[in-house]
Amino acid sequence: MSTETEAAIAPEIDLSAIEEIIEPYLGKKEMVIPVLQKVQEHFGFLPRPAMEEVSRLMRIPLSRLYGVATFYAQFKMKPRGRYIIRVCKGTACHIQGSPKIADRIEETLGLQSGETTDDLRFTLEEVACIGACALAPVIMINDEPHGRLTPDKIKDILDSYE
Ligand code: FES
């Protein structure tokens, strides 16, 4: 994800929802995690202006909010794609060629694991065994599994997600 993309989407962030999200939690500084979860649910990630607004309304230092947000893997600090591609890096998938699948996805989309395409279409992640070893090597795109993959199948699969 480029900084340009973050800058490009920043002006579109509408903060009016924050007050409503925070209302039940006002004065409850110990409820930082549920508040951040709800803010992330709304925006898909934790944009800086939203964090500043949470800090202001809840009277919690911004540094403390970031301390919490960066400690937990569930919180995302950057926008994510409409489609989250999860490449299984478990043993069965590894043996069946998941590194080549990951390479082909990276080449096709021009990004590395953990990154998002500039058009916010795809985010690529690596995950541990997703419990579908019989389909190895397998990826998930959002909730949809794609198994018994070969690198040559990747382009058609990605093209099917508009
Ligand atoms: S190792 Fe990939 S699904 Fe189990």
pLDDT band at 16; cut points 50, 70, 90:
confident
Can you tell me the mean pLDDT for 132-157?
96
Residue 1's CB: how many other CB atoms inside 10 A? Answer: 17
Q: Which amino acid is at 111?
A: L
Query: Which of 86, 127, 129 best tests ligand 1's pocket when mutated (most atoms within 8 Å of CB)?
Result: 129
Q: Does the pLDDT at position 2 exceed 50?
A: no
- 102 Cα–ligand 1 center, Å: 14
- 94 Cα–ligand 1 center, Å: 8
| Separation between Cα atoms, residue 111 and residue 63, nearest integer Å | 30
Q: Is the CB of 68 under 6 A from ligand 1?
A: no
Query: Which of 93, 126, 140 best tests ligand 1's pocket when mutated (most atoms within 8 Å of CB)?
Result: 93
Q: Does the pLDDT at position 146 exceed 50?
A: yes
Q: Can you list the domains of the chain with their CATH numbers?
A: 3-71 (no CATH), 83-159 (3.40.30.10)
pTM of the predicted model over 0.85? no
Query: Rounded to whole angstroms, what are the CA distances from 142 to 66, 114, 146?
Result: 27, 15, 11
Please identify which residue in the block is written with the tokens 């925070």. 22
| Separation between Cα atoms, residue 108 and residue 86, nearest integer Å | 15
Per-residue pLDDT, 82? 93
- Per residue in 77-129, pLDDT tens? 988 899 999 999 999 999 999 999 999 999 999 999 989 999 999 999 999 99
- In this structure, the residue with its CA closest to atom 1 of ligand 1 is 90
| Separation between Cα atoms, residue 46 and residue 149, nearest integer Å | 34
Please identify which residue in the block is written with the tokens 């579109």. 12
Query: Which of 87, 95, 133, 148 best tests ligand 1's pocket when mutated (most atoms within 8 Å of CB)?
Result: 133
First vs last C-alpha separation in the chain:
19
Per-residue pLDDT, 35? 96
Q: Which of 42-46, 56-60, 62-66 has the lowest mean pLDDT?
A: 42-46
Rama region for 118: left / alpha / beta (φ>0; ψ in -120 to 50; rest): alpha
| Token pair for 110 | 């021009």
pLDDT band at 12; cut points 50, 70, 90:
low
Most confident region among 3-12, 37-46, 103-112 by mean pLDDT: 103-112
Burial class of residue 21 (count of CB atoms within 10 Å of its CB; 0-12, 13-18, 19+): buried
